[in-house]
Chain A
C-alpha cells in the first residue's frame, strides 16, 4: 500500500536540494574524522548556510541573558545578571500570557511586541506610520512568505499563477513556490553590474510569461541573497512603478537590512520609498515586507523569529491573511522576544551597552574584513571572479570550470559546480554550496559561502580554498 503513486503532483515536482548530496558527504567525512581517519584537515569548515553561529560567531550576551531569564525567571532576581537584563526580562514576562514563555500567544504575536515592531519600522522609515494590525510575527520570515504565497497562488485556476523571482535566488523561496504549484518566472540579475536589478529585464520576464502563466507577484530580495547587492532608490522606484502598472503584488524580502557595509550603500526600505513617492502609488501598491532575527549581528536562526508587514491590502483580503496565519497557533515565544531585542537593543547608558557594543562591533569588523579578504583572494585566483559585495553575509563568486572537469562531473552524475563543491569538501574540508542551487545563467557556474565567520576561520578557509583551487585547475587543465 504505497502512497507514492498517489502523492500530490505539486510535492513530486519539488526538487531535492543539491545540498542533500553534499550534506551526506559531510556527515561521512565528520564520522571518519571522529574515527581518526587521516585527512589534510582536522575539521570541516561549514559555511554553506547563512548561519553565523554554525560558522563560529558567538551569540550576543545581552540577548541570551534576557532570554535565559525569561525561561527561568528565578534568574530575574539573582544579581548575577545586569540590572537592565533583569528589567527587560521582567517586562517581557509580564507581557506574555500566563507570564510564561511556554504559553501560546495571539496569532499575530504578543501585542506589546507587535507594537514595538511597529515603532521600529516607523523609526527606520523616517516616520512613515506602521499600523500594528498590519504586522504578523512568524516563525522566521520564510514562514510568513509561504503564507502570503498561499493566498496569492491560485491552485484552482486553469492558468497557473506565476511569481517573478530573481536569478540567483536562495532556494527556500523557490522550493515554496514549487510546492504550492506556482510557476517561477525568472528575471536575471545583472552580474556584470554587481548583480543589479534592471527593470528592462523585469519587462522581458513578464513578456516571456505571456501564454504560460498569470503573473501575480514580484519577489525581490534587498539586500540580495546570495548577491550582496543593495538596490538604489532609483531602481526601487522603477520597480514600484512597474508593479503598479502591471498590478503585481510586491514581496520584499529585507532580512539582511542590518548588514550593510558597502562604502556607497545605504539600505532604504521599499515601504519608505513607496511612501515618499506619494499618492496614488503610495496608497495603492500592495506590498509585503519581511524581516527576521536570523540574520544580522544577532544571527539567531535557531530561535525562529521574523515578521511581515503588509501595506495597502484590501481589508477583506486581510481577513483571509488572518485565517491562514491562525492555522498555526503562533510564532515561538522566544523567537518573538529575540525579534524584540533586535529592534530595541541596549542604549548608551544602559549597564549592558558597553559589552553589547563591543560584541557587535567585533562581529561587524570581522564581517567587513572577511568581505575584503575573500574578494581579494578570490579575484586573485585564476578562474574566479567576485563582484563587489555591499551587504548581506555571503559571497557569490563566479567560477570557470574547465571542460575536463565538466566532463568528469557528468560521469559521476553531478552538476559541474556541485562536483567542484564535492571535491572541495573531500580534499580541503570546506563546505560551500554550488551556484546551481540558486539559479544562474546557463553555462555559468558559481559558489556561495557565508562570510560572517570569525576572522581566523575565514583565513583558514581561504587558505584551503586557494590551495585546493590551484590543484583542481591543474588536475583538469
Chain B
C-alpha cells in the first residue's frame, strides 16, 4: 500500500472536521508557551512576553474534566476499590462505597475488572440500566435484553450505521442528519459509505426541528440514495435545543410513515435547564399502539457528557426498542468483534444510573457535587449567552440544554476574503486568529452556506476560565470588527457613496496551510 491509490476510497472520501487542525495548533502554542516560560526563567528575559496570554483555554472539547471540572467522588472511590479490592477493608472509605464496590466485583468474572465481559456488557449493569430507563420514563418498561453497552455512544451509533449500510452497487443508504450536527458525524457516515441527507434546523426558532424541512430533505434525497434512518440529537448538539413532546411526536409519526429507523442521541439528557427532558421512548410509549409497537427506535446515552463527564473511561449504551430479534442477533455478532467497552467504564455506568440514595453515607456529598456542577453549567450558559449577544454581529439562541452555545457570527468582508485567499473556511480562520491572538480555542461551526457562520463553545468549564475566555473573546472580536471597518485611512464608501471593498492591510502570520480544514495534523 505504498501508493495512495490503494487506500480504501471510502476512507479517502471521509470528511474530517476542522477541529483536529485547530487542536494541533493549540497544542503547538501551548508547547511554545512552555518553552518561552522556561527560557524566561533560565535567561531572565525581562522584556514582556510577546504573547498576551500565558495559557490556552480550550472551550471546544465538551470534556469537562479536561477543562478542570472535578469528577464525582463517589464514582472515583467505588472504581478505585474495584481496581484495588484490598481497599474494601479501608474504613476511611464510606460504607456505601465499599458495599457497592463489592457488589460490582461480584458481578465481574473472576471478581476482577481485568476480565473480559460478555460482548453486550455485564448483565448486572445492563439490568441496572434497564431499571433506570423504566424509572426515568415514568414506568414505560425497558428490558436489559434491549440494552447494549459500548465504548461510548459514538461506537454504538457506528454499529447501527454499519448495520444499515447497504452493500456495493446498490443504492447507498441515506441517513437524515441535522444541520448543525456533532462535528464527527459526517466522517462517521462517510466511513460506512452512507449518504448524509441534511435537514436544516431553524435557527430563529431556537434551532427547532421543522416537519416541513424533514419532508423537503427526504424528497430531495430520493433518486440518489435510499433513506433508511433519521438521526436526531436531543438535547441538540451543538445547538442546545430541547424538543417538546409535540415536536417529538411529529418526528416519530414522520419516521413511522416514511419507514425510517430513529437514531436518537440523548447523551445530554442530564443537562437540561428550565424545560423538562422527556425521552423519545417515553413519548413513543404514550402514543397509539400502531406507533409504540412498531417504530424502531435506538437511543444513546454516555458517561462522557453532562453529569458524569467521564469521557476517559469510555462507556455508553444504547437501548433498541422494537428491533427485530433477527437484527438483534447481528448486533450481538458485531459487538463480538469489537470487544471494547472497558470494565471500569461499564461499572461507572452502573454508578451513573444508580447513584447514592437519601440515607446512604455518600448521598450528601454526591448531591452537593451534582448540584454544584449543574449550577455552574446553568450560570455559565446564561453568562456566555449574555456576553455573546452583546457583541456586534453576534447572535446566540438561548441554550435550553447540553453544554454548548452556538452563536452565529456575521464576519466582516475582509475576513471572508482573507479566508478565500488562504483556502480555509472563514469561521475556521476566525478561530485560528482568536487562538493565536488570545489563546482561546473555540470550535468553528459547520458551514451552512451563504453568509452565516457559527462558533461552537463548550461552557461546562470552571466559571473563572469561562469569564477569562469571554473577556478575551470580546476584546478579540471588537478589535477585529474595528480593524476591518477602518482600513488605514481608506473610507468604506467613496465620494460617490459607492461601497468600497474593505481590505485589511496588515497581515498577521498564519500557520494554516492551503488545505485548511482537510488537514489532519
Contact = CB atoms under 8 A, between A and B. Distances in A.
Nearest to B167: A9
A71 interface: yes
A143 B259 CA distance: 33
B418 interface: no
B166 A6 contact: yes
Given A151-B11, A328-B152, A53 B110 contact: yes
Given A98-B67, A151-B1, A155-B193, A323 B14 contact: yes
Contacts of A23: 118
B22 interface: no
Interface in B299-358: 304, 308-314, 323-324, 326-327, 329-330, 332-334, 336-345
Interface in A176-201: 176, 179, 181
Contacts of B412: none
Given A51-B109, A302-B116, A332-B344, A98 B68 contact: yes
Contacts of B113: 302-303
A72 B327 CA distance: 41
Interface in A51-74: 51-59, 64-65, 67-69, 71-72
A101 B75 CA distance: 12
Contacts, number: 284
A69 B343 CA distance: 17
B164 A8 contact: yes
Contact of B83 (A4, A7, A71, A326): A71
Contacts of A299: 114
A302 B117 contact: yes
Of B11, B295, B312, B336, chain A has the most CB atoms within 10 Å of the CB of B312
Contact of A97 (B66, B114, B117): B66
B283 interface: no
Interface stretch (B129-137, B183-191, B467-475): B183-191
B342 A6 contact: no
Contacts of A213: none
Given A2-B324, A53-B110, A97 B10 contact: no
A476 interface: no
A471 interface: no
Interface residues of A, number: 96
B112 interface: yes
B337 A53 contact: no
Nearest to A248: B1
Interface in B72-119: 76-77, 79-81, 83-84, 87, 90, 108-110, 112-118
B63 interface: yes
Contacts of B65: 97-98, 100, 102-103
Interface stretch (A229-237, A313-321, A355-363, A405-413): A313-321
Contacts of A327: 14, 154, 158, 184, 187-188, 191
A335 B8 contact: no
Interface string A205-224: 00000000000100000000
A4 B110 contact: no
Nearest to B331: A11
Contact of A304 (B81, B151, B187): B151
B339 A142 contact: yes
A245 to B, nearest CB: 14
B61 interface: yes
Contacts of A143: 338, 340
A43 to B, nearest CB: 12
B386 interface: no
B8 A155 contact: yes
A55 B336 contact: no
A249 interface: yes
A102 B309 contact: yes
Contacts of B167: 8-10, 181
Contacts of B367: none
Interface in B210-244: 226, 228
Contact of A303 (B114, B323, B336): B114
Given A75-B80, A104-B63, A334 B344 contact: yes
24 contacts: A8-B165, A11-B330, A49-B116, A53-B109, A53-B115, A68-B79, A68-B80, A71-B79, A72-B76, A75-B87, A98-B69, A101-B313, A104-B311, A140-B339, A143-B340, A146-B337, A247-B2, A304-B341, A314-B1, A314-B3, A320-B14, A327-B191, A329-B314, A332-B344
Given A71-B344, A153-B8, A304-B151, 9 more contacts: A2-B327, A54-B112, A59-B112, A104-B304, A151-B11, A156-B10, A302-B117, A302-B344, A303-B343
Going nearest first, the 5 A-B pairs with the smallest beta carbon separation are: A302-B343, A68-B84, A103-B66, A72-B80, A333-B312
Interface of B: 1-4, 6-12, 14, 16, 20, 27, 61, 63, 65-69, 71, 76-77, 79-81, 83-84, 87, 90, 108-110, 112-118, 151-152, 154-155, 158, 162-168, 173, 184, 187-188, 191, 193, 226, 228, 256, 259, 261, 294-296, 304, 308-314, 323-324, 326-327, 329-330, 332-334, 336-345, 520-521
